[in-house]
Amino acid sequence: MFEKVLIANRGEIALRVLRACREMGIHTVAVHSTADAQAMHVRLADESVCIGPPSVRESYLNIPAILSAASITGADAIHPGLGFLSENADFAHMVEEHGLTFIGPTPEHIRMMGDKVIAKRIAQELGIPTVPGSDGAIGDIDVACKRAAEVLYPVLIKASGGGGGRGMKVANNEEELRALIPIAQGEAKAFFNNDEVYFEKYLDKPRHIEMQILGDGQGNAIHLGERDCSLQRSHQKILEEAPSPVLTTAQREEIGAIATAAIAKLNYRGAGTLEFLFQDGQFAFIEMNTRIQVEHPVSELISGIDLVQEQIRIAAGGTLDRTQADVVLRGHAIECRINAEHPLTFAPSPGLVTTYHAPGGYGVRIDSALYQGYRVPSQYDSLVSKLIVHGRDRRECIMRLRRALAEYVIAGIDTNIPLHQRLMDEPDFIAGDYDIHWLERFVATKLKE
Ligand code: ADP
């Protein structure tokens, strides 16, 4: 097992990794920008190294600075967390070249799944159903239009190197498709340094359902069930739950078996997520994330498996120590993403946290790097806390979330806690009756009432 792990991240996920390490008796090294000198992950780590100024390019994405920090402190592995360098195959490769272990999949798997066109092709080869669309990346516009007429409009243009829900465009007819393809290619080049785009049929009422998997790189794989992440604004998840209110046991077992067979065949190592859209009883793969995800705690709460500890164990050469039959999913879990933003306008709200009181009690988990007197920096993601509850069933979870949200005090900055409180009272949410477009409609109509 590793003696010292460097955590190449910040915020709640850095703290999440730090906690896993500490419970495994592993020393931790935090890295931070000058804007994060007072951050909780820095305060709690055994050692810390300042790696640059606030700009992420010069700090959390600064590969030479991070590798130097690992070398100076004598770390033997690097956990990339999520975002930043977590899906950067070159970084993973360089970490290994420096004689350190990258806590994650092989650079080859990261590269393969990071290109969404290649990922979809591999998924098809592995027998995973995908959303119908262009045959790979769009080359000839006439060929693309012919194919779009077959899959039927509207279609969604996506970037092959895309992520974070950015840069997707809906085309309702051929004229729009012809006009939008070059625009999408230009934006993809600017955002992702890769001008390849493709299109998919734009589904009108899907749910976003994703499978959490673990592979040990030695031919073994298991899944921890699904997460339903259909509550989204601008393609960004805001609340996630497990299990999905709409899947049957047979559907879960079927997609779980397809996912684990694929992961085992790929010899995939570490934690990963296969994302699907689910409509009319059919699953269609959209992408795979080769890292831990923000919403991983809901899977931990229903499975009792610590996913970050599993990542670390597998990276250290461990094999999966359970089979699918050993994975028992119990009860229900829901996560609310608490963002530092105005609950109605969604304007970012960095600043000083003047009062902080987190909820507690039975079945409540908080993953947050906030504390009283902490100044939320303006340079980074607005996610400041995750409130996750576990209950016997969905109803108990909703009641527990209502009381936990009411206890949660974060003063000095705006947060979206009032939005989550509104959701807990919405009949559609209570009934589990929502698709990926529901929240946008709710925000546009009911929220401002
Ligand atoms: P990213 O990697 O940028 O997050 P994804 O492919 O994971 O992009 O898609 C993000 C979200 O966009 C999905 O959760 C879903 O809400 C929406 N989306 C993606 N593909 C489609 C599609 N074919 N039809 C309708 N919505 C889609």
pLDDT tens per residue, range 403-416? 999 999 999 999 99
Tell me, yes or no, whether 189 lies in a domain.
yes
Q: What is the mean pLDDT of residues 417-439?
A: 98
Say whether both 190 and 227 belong to one domain: no
Q: What is the mean pLDDT of the chain?
A: 97
Q: How far is the CA of 179 from the centre of ligand 1 (A)?
A: 21
In short, whether 285's Cβ falls inside 6 Å of ligand 1 is no
For 258, phi then psi, to 5°, come to -65, -45
**For a pLDDT cut of 70, what percent of the chain falls above it?**
100
Tell me, yes or no, whether 167 lies in a domain.
yes
Per-residue pLDDT band at 151 (split at 50, 70, 90): very high
Say whether both 410 and 270 belong to one domain: yes
- Domain of residue 305, CATH code: 3.30.470.20
User: Distances from the Cα of 300 to the Cαs of 89, 139, 164, 292, 307, in angstroms?
Assistant: 27, 42, 23, 12, 7
Residue 446 reports pLDDT greater than 90: no
Q: How far is the CA of 231 from the centre of ligand 1 (A)?
A: 12
Ligand 1 nearest atom to the CA of residue 284, by list position: 23
- Domain of residue 177, CATH code: 3.30.1490.20
Task: Record the tokens describing residue 68, joined without a space.
Answer: 């130097």
pLDDT at 148: 94
pLDDT at 316: 98
Best residue among 153, 155, 166, 168 to mutate for probing ligand 1, ranked by most atoms within 8 Å of CB? 168
pLDDT at 70: 98
Q: What is the mean pLDDT of residues 133-155?
A: 94
Among 183, 201, 219, give the residue marking a domain's end: 201
Tell me, yes or no, whether 60 lies in a domain.
yes
Split into its structural domains, the chain has a count of 3
Residue 222 reports pLDDT greater than 90: yes
Sign of the CA dihedral with 227 first, then 230, 236, and 237 last: negative
Tell me, yes or no, whether 113 lies in a domain.
no
Residue 357 reports pLDDT greater than 80: yes
Residue 423 reports pLDDT greater than 90: yes
Say whether both 211 and 145 belong to one domain: no
Residue 448 reports pLDDT greater than 80: no
Say whether both 295 and 188 belong to one domain: no
Per-residue pLDDT band at 56 (split at 50, 70, 90): very high
Of 117, 130, 156, nearest to 255 by C-alpha is 130
Q: Are strands 4-7 and 27-33 parallel, antiparallel or unpaired?
A: parallel
103, 28 contact by CB (below 8 A)? no
What beta strand segments (E) does 280-382 contain?
282-289, 332-339, 351-352, 355-357, 364-368, 375-376
Q: What is the mean pLDDT of residues 270-297?
A: 98
Say whether both 212 and 197 belong to one domain: no
Ligand 1 nearest atom to the CA of residue 206, by list position: 25
pLDDT at 114: 95
Say whether both 302 and 361 belong to one domain: yes
Q: How crowded is residue 401: how many other Cβ atoms within 10 Å of its Cβ?
A: 25
Ligand 1 nearest atom to the CA of residue 200, by list position: 23
pLDDT at 288: 98
Alpha carbon distance 51, 6 (integer Å):
12
Say whether both 326 and 221 belong to one domain: yes
Range of the domain at 410: 207-445
Q: How far is the CA of 275 from the centre of ligand 1 (A)?
A: 9
Say whether both 245 and 295 belong to one domain: yes
Residue 449 reports pLDDT greater than 80: no
Of 104, 263, 111, nearest to 255 by C-alpha is 263
Q: What is the mean pLDDT of residues 397-408?
A: 98
Among 170, 201, 232, give the residue marking a domain's end: 201
Q: What is the mean pLDDT of residues 429-440?
A: 98
Best residue among 436, 437, 439 to mutate for probing ligand 1, ranked by most atoms within 8 Å of CB? 436
Ligand 1 nearest atom to the CA of residue 204, by list position: 25
pLDDT at 167: 82
pLDDT at 164: 81
Among 160, 175, 201, give the residue marking a domain's end: 201
Q: Model-level pTM?
A: 0.97
| Runs of H (alpha helix) within 85-140 | 89-97, 107-114, 116-125
Say whether both 69 and 187 belong to one domain: no
In short, whether 139's Cβ falls inside 6 Å of ligand 1 is no
Q: What is the mean pLDDT of residues 258-275?
A: 97
Q: What is the 3-state secondary structure (H, E, C) of 360-386?
A: CCCCEEEEECCCCCCEECCCCCCEEEE
In short, whether 317's Cβ falls inside 6 Å of ligand 1 is no
User: Distances from the Cα of 37 to the Cαs of 74, 113, 298, 353, 406, in angstroms?
Assistant: 21, 34, 30, 16, 31
Q: Are strands 197-201 and 207-216 parallel, antiparallel or unpaired?
A: unpaired
Alpha carbon distance 212, 214 (integer Å):
7
What is the helix, strand, coil percentage profile of the chain, to 5? 35, 25, 35
In short, whether 7's Cβ falls inside 6 Å of ligand 1 is no
Q: Which long-range contacts (CB under 8 A, 24 or more apart) does 263-268 make?
A: 263/213, 263/215, 263/221, 264/215, 264/219, 264/220, 264/221, 265/126, 266/109, 266/122, 266/126, 266/215, 267/215, 267/217, 267/218, 267/219, 268/105, 268/109, 268/213, 268/215, 268/217, 268/221
pLDDT in tens, 74-126: 999 999 999 999 999 999 999 999 999 999 999 999 999 999 999 999 999 99
For 352, phi then psi, to 5°, come to -80, 130
Residue 48 reports pLDDT greater than 80: yes
Say whether both 194 and 322 belong to one domain: no
202, 156 contact by CB (below 8 A)? yes
Amino acid at 382: S
Alpha carbon distance 305, 107 (integer Å):
25
**For a pLDDT cut of 90, what percent of the chain falls above it?**
97
Tell me, yes or no, whether 326 lies in a domain.
yes
- Domain of residue 61, CATH code: 3.40.50.20
User: Distances from the Cα of 156 to the Cαs of 10, 151, 192, 216, in angstroms?
Assistant: 33, 11, 18, 35
Say whether both 183 and 213 belong to one domain: no
Tell me, yes or no, whether 127 lies in a domain.
no
Residue 444 reports pLDDT greater than 80: yes
Alpha carbon distance 383, 376 (integer Å):
10
Task: Record the tokens describing residue 143, joined without a space.
Answer: 């060929």
Going by CA atoms, what residue is nearest to atom 6 of ligand 1? Answer: 286
Best residue among 235, 240, 279, 293 to mutate for probing ligand 1, ranked by most atoms within 8 Å of CB? 235
Say whether both 187 and 252 belong to one domain: no
Residue 163 reports pLDDT greater than 90: no
